[in-house]
Amino acid sequence: MSNGLLDFETLAADNIRTLKGPSTSFKKPLVIILVGIPGSGKTTLARKLVEKFPLTILNEEDMTSFLSPRATIFKKSSTEVFQLATKTIEQLVKSGKACIYDANIKTREQRELLKKTVEDFGGGSLLIYLDCPKEICYERLQKQNLAIERGETKGFILDKDFFEFEAYSTRIPSPEEQHVSYSCQASEGFFQIVPLVEKRISQVNI
């Protein structure tokens, strides 16, 4: 997958070398795809799942930082980041590695493309929608921005206009997409997700 400017095959291989992932390999690796506006808890969920399962985290912000020095004109959440993510997931699946993509996959078209890529190269996918009210997400985002400004954590500072755009342009998965909903307000939400991931992973042979 290339737009004539960037060699995403090579970039994906370089990107994978920067990742810290488990050595476990699967005949049919699982790829977890997330949908959730900024502040909905995608990174927190991804980190918790990685503590329990042999998953490699693909983080959109890390890939943005990886890619931006190579791009002439670059915008966060650009087409180039998604292309790099898709090619990276493809190569991980081909090598038998399960992973979770820590990003908001906003449209059904993007989600279907990722699912098809995973299936074409012998993997399985699980789509998780993080259901969290906008006001809670925005409060979390403001706290995160403050932490970034203080140097307490890394990341991009996101303003209210960008937050509103992300919320407006995010399409909630339809029932036909066979997704799982994760409520950020339910204390038991994570413990409901764990057996689903465990079941999907146990369906493959290590």
Single-letter residue type at 76: K
Predicted confidence (pLDDT) per residue in 122-157, tens digit: 999 999 999 999 999 999 999 988 988 888 887 778
pLDDT tens digits, 115-126: 999 999 999 999
Residue matched to tokens 């090598």: 95
30-199 adopts what CATH topology?
Rossmann fold (3.40.50)
Q: Would you say 35 and 97 are in contact if contact means Cβ atoms under 8 Å apart? A: no
Residue ranges per structural domain of the chain:
30-199
Strands 99-102 and 30-35: parallel
206 versus 127: which is more confidently predicted?
127
- CA separation for the pair 58, 196 (Å, rounded): 20
Q: pLDDT confidence of 84, banded at 50, 70, 90? A: very high
